[in-house]
Amino acid sequence: MKLLFSSLASIAILSLLSFKKYTAPSIADHQVAFSMEDESATGSFANPKGTVVFDESDLSKTHIDICIKANTIQTGDPGRDKHLKNEDFFEVGKYPEIRFKSTSTIKNADGSYSIKGDFTMKSTTKSVEISARVVNQDGQRLLLGQLPINRVDYKVGIADDGVGTLLTAHLKYPIQ
């Protein structure tokens, strides 16, 4: 569950993309990564779909609308993946998509960005905030972002199911 939250969050961060207007031609080649707070699991969701527009000169034009398919979760353990897809966690048959849709983006005094939006998983939608930065790494500009998620808030498992409740979605996305 936490993995899914992280993935969607990462996708949302993806939308903050560049210093100038940037429209992602395709985000389908990217994955959204996640990690549990207790470091018990890491993973990703494959093939996010949607639009990402980032305009640093006019942040009001920034628009992110990203959807991931819950059944693309990958933790490196096929048995765990199968369990996460069932009714105990993501219920992928009933709730096949996880979505982030931005509502506002601001540039903070320290140069980072805060991207606010609505995150929907299963039947719950909550306002969330992604913290993101643009960095230079190995000669490439990257958008790095994080979104903390409490999976229990979205009815993904229960608090005392032996799995940590907090996870972080991670985004690492090349920008131009």
Sequence letter at residue 71: N
Closest CA to 2 of 133, 125, 147: 147
Ordered by start, the domain boundaries in the chain are 2-175
Q: Distance between CA 2 and CA 34 in Å, rounded? A: 7
Please name the fold of domain 2-175: Lipocalin (2.40.128)
Do 10 and 32 touch, CB atoms closer than 8 A?
Answer: yes
Q: What is the CA radius of gyration of the chain?
A: 15
Tell which residue, 10, 14, 8, 9, has the closest CA to residue 173. 14
Tell me the per-residue pLDDT of 17-64, one tens digit each, with 9 for 90 and over: 322 333 343 444 456 788 888 777 788 888 888 777 767 778 898 787
Question: pLDDT (tens digit, 9 = 90+) per residue, 141-160?
Answer: 776 778 899 999 999 988 88
* 38 alpha-carbon distance from chain centroid: 19
pTM: 0.78
DSSP 94: T
